[in-house]
Amino acid sequence: MARVLIIEDDRVTADEIGAELQRYGLDTEWCGDGTSGLERARGGDYDAITLDRMLPGMDGLTLVTRLREFGVQTPVLMISALSDADERVRGLRAGGDDYLTKPFNPEEMAARIEVLLRRNTHRPMKLRVEDLELDLMDRQARRDGEVLDLLPTEFKLLEFLMRHTGRVLTRTMIFEAVWGYHFDPGTNVIEVHIGRLRRKLDPPGREQLIHTVRGVGYVLERR
């Protein structure tokens, strides 16, 4: 399932965008300001982003410019009440892939996102680490050819770990990518889900792939 990050400070507009994209089977997450939006866009492995032009903390032009400077090439649909040609040109030159003015037709917005998703062919549909394979199209995980019975959140967590194989992921990074929080709520929900994943991925006699980095977070890799 493709993931779309909605960076929009107006919750009503964000809910409208999210509801329309979800009608087309897309998974959406919302962020209400530019500063946290940049951080989530950098680390969340999204397939597309809708980006409001005017945001608290950091405006949309600055955000998309910095996103490209960081090397993140996720397609961005900029959405703005500023409709003159100069503003559209500025948005596209800053790094936006498309520009839509408010008020907009929700179906047109969804169609533009679909076009960006079709262009975004750099993301693999299958992830593999050793004998562990994740099929993003069929939403199935297999280890050594055996299908693993994963709950949706477990699948999402495993996908995030596999996309960052060999990289230590902090609790905050995991909460942002999997649960949509941009802070660590201080619960043991990550530990619970990691424990379940380990029991399903690493039964006795099989090489462990998910490792704890004490005081920091988790990493998926062969050791």
**pLDDT, tens digit, 9 for 90 and up, residues 135-153:** 877 788 999 888 999 998 8
For range 85-107, the mean pLDDT: 89
pLDDT category, 124, cuts 50, 70, 90? low
Residue 187 has pLDDT above 90, yes or no: no
Using N-to-C axis directions, what is the helix angle for 189-201 and 152-163, rounded to 10°? 80
For range 196-206, the mean pLDDT: 84
Q: Write out the residue range of the structural domain in which residue 109 sits.
A: 3-119
Question: What whole-number distance in Å separates Cα of residue 34 and Cα of residue 45?
Answer: 17
Q: What's the CATH number where 146 sits?
A: 1.10.10.10
Q: Are residues 81 and 184 in the same domain?
A: no
Q: What is the DSSP string of 132-200?
A: EEEETTTTEEEETTEEE---HHHHHHHHHHHHTTTS-EEHHHHIIIII--SS----SHHHHHHHHHHHH
Domain boundary among 119, 138, 159: 119
pLDDT category, 122, cuts 50, 70, 90? low
Instruction: Provide the whole-model pTM.
Output: 0.58
Q: Say what the pLDDT of residue 82 is.
A: 82
For range 178-202, the mean pLDDT: 85
For range 9-15, the mean pLDDT: 94
Question: What whole-number distance in Å separates Cα of residue 91 and Cα of residue 153?
Answer: 35
